[in-house]
Amino acid sequence: MAEAPSHPVPDGPGLGAFLLLWLSVPLVELYLGWPLSNRPMAWQYMVEFAVFAGLGWAQWRFATHPVLRTPFGPLLVSVGMVFLVMGPDDLVGRLLYLVGIGVVVWAGLTALARFRIPLLVGALVAVGARVGEQVVRMSTIDSFLTLEGGAPFADVALWPLRAAPVLPPAVDVGPPVVIISIDTLRADDAAAMTSLRRLAARGASWPRAMSTSSWTLPAVASIQTGLAPQDHGAACLAGVHCQGMVEGVPLLAEDLAEKGYANAAFLANAWLSRTTGFAPGFHNFQPMATAPFDLKLDMVPPKDEELPSAEQVVDAALSWLEVTPNPSFYLWVHLLDPHMPYVNAEDEAHREVLGHDLRVARPWTPDMQAALRESYRNEIAVTDAAVGRLLDALEARGVLDSGIVVLTADHGEEFWEHGDVEHGHSHHAEVVDVPLVLVAPGVEPGERVGLASLMDIAPTVRAAVGLGASGYDLRQPIPADRIAVSWGTIYRRVQCSARDATRRLILDECNPAYARLYDLVHDPMELHGVAPVTGDPLLVAAEALEPPLQHGDEAATTAALEALGYVDR
């Protein structure tokens, strides 16, 4: 008679069911982690899959109690791992930390009593690996090179040790490049910034360059590509469907990486994410805010989410500068502080107010408007101090003497100059005119007279480092008759505009029937628009603008746009 096995397999679901339950954990992590630019390596995922497959086999082989033969096993272990490694940073974190410890201890004791040694070993390996990642993250300066920032859920859920990005050899292949983009910085208020004047004393400056849009996503995409919105594709269409850049659009970071540059980005605006296409080419890409539809999930950032401050973003950038060995690097820093809400305002009401709150609230008196504008200027002062710290570090490293440094903004902000407030709705000067400063070898200091555009930054950098470039090179004079264009809004009617050195033309609904032409010499406040004549070059340029083609499957819901302050309730 055959001898009975020492551990007979109980009746119930087969091995395949248990394996599927346990492997669902790493499968979800694989799905969430795939968009990350520094995602775990293949062998790390293989280790995780092997561990969880072992746990599934152990539960099927050794669990005898009916409760232990349910899906609660993988759920408790994975939840315990997540809670355990969150750490006791605040009151909620402490509670989750204690719950995590309790769950893991319970799972270990149960494994020892019921599942025998194999499951206990597997659980210890899984938890130990996840905790080990946190030790590496918290204790080494290289954390800025090895970990993704700004994606809290993925950062907690993905436990394998992340691989350090493969940096190019530390050789000199060109001058260092730094782009500092400041969110919601009006051209007129930027003139008072000490950091901007400090850079302008070393290079060329355009006090009123022109943005390619009235809001962040398409404007910054133009900075990083040198293309207009209709070509790079990043936009919100019809105010709801929001999409990133078209796949395959040539990014400045990709060109520099191919040349041998070490590239890093530290970004405070949630729209500048992996999902919207800004990560390719960066060895270290750290979006430091939750994107409205990042990680393929319709995640709406809560209104009370603490936005990354200019000081925090600059701290991260400085830490990266300290550890990168490459003399040729590209550093991109995007700061958000001048964007509502004004978290540093003396008036507590201004610390939470968003654009749609202002538009639907009671009428604001002139004194109230002036107080809000002062809170905005205070945010600019905070940003100015942070940029000054970054410039100090760049100067100590010699970058201001031999490198390429650009300081600009994505767009400005309206404070009722044309009857409205905030941005994303208008193409008047207070919204689409932005400051621009370029410091580069061979560029003489001084204010330039030609009309510059955000589209000129990428071609200028490409040309300055020896790459082929099409477009305007800001190191050379800009033609006096140059026309710059801008497209798009994020709410209300879409607008298009075109501008030359002395005039601006705005098309409501991008329709020539609703064209208004402003003489910027005699009407600098743009209060008296007239109809343009047929064939006017500005009208021709504005009429030629097309909306980007809809692509991809990303969409921001109305709730997400509300959370960002763009949609009226």
What amino acid occupies position 112?
Answer: L
3-state secondary structure 302-319: CCCCCCCCHHHHHHHHHH
3-state secondary structure 121-178: HHHHHHHHHHHHHHHHHHHCCCHHHHCCCCCHHHHHHCCCCCCCCCCCCCCCCCCCEE
In angstroms, rounded to a whole number, what is the distance separating the alpha carbons of residues 121 and 117?
6
Give the dihedral of Cα atoms 389, 391, 395, 396; nearest 10 deg: 20
pTM check: above 0.75: no
Q: Cβ atoms within 10 A of the Cβ of 347, count?
A: 13
Q: Tell me what pLDDT residue 420 has.
A: 85
- The three-class DSSP label of residue 236 is strand
Tell me the two tokens of residue 45: 């995922």
Cα 493 to Cα 71, 196, 425, 489, distances in angstroms: 51, 34, 7, 7
Q: Could you tell me the sign of the dihedral formed by the alpha carbons of 358, 362, 363, 367, in that order?
A: negative
> In tens digits, what is the pLDDT along the chain, a chain of 569 residues?
444 445 555 555 678 877 877 777 677 666 655 544 444 556 667 877 888 888 778 777 776 666 566 666 666 666 665 555 444 444 455 555 556 555 665 666 555 555 555 555 655 565 555 555 444 443 333 333 333 333 333 333 333 333 344 567 778 899 999 999 999 999 999 999 999 999 999 999 999 999 999 999 999 999 999 999 999 999 988 656 788 899 889 999 999 999 999 999 999 988 898 888 999 999 888 887 654 433 333 333 444 456 788 999 999 999 899 888 889 999 999 999 999 888 888 887 787 777 777 776 667 788 888 888 999 999 999 999 999 999 999 999 999 999 999 999 999 999 989 988 889 889 999 999 999 999 999 999 999 999 999 999 999 999 999 998 789 999 999 999 999 999 999 877 889 999 999 999 999 999 999 999 999 999 999 999 999 999 999 999 999 999 988 876 555 555 555 555 565 54
Q: Enumerate domains of the chain plus CATH numbers.
A: 15-157 (no CATH), 177-475+482-494+547-563 (3.40.720.10)
* Letter string b/e over residues 326-337, b meaning 16 or more CB atoms within 10 A of that residue's CB: bbbbbbbbbbbb
Q: Are 503 and 517 in contact (CB under 8 A)?
A: yes
DSSP string computed for 428-449: SHHHHEEEEEEE-TTPPPEE--
In angstroms, rounded to a whole number, what is the distance separating the alpha carbons of residues 546 and 569?
29
Pairing of strands 262-267, 284-287: parallel
Q: Tell me what pLDDT residue 331 has.
A: 97
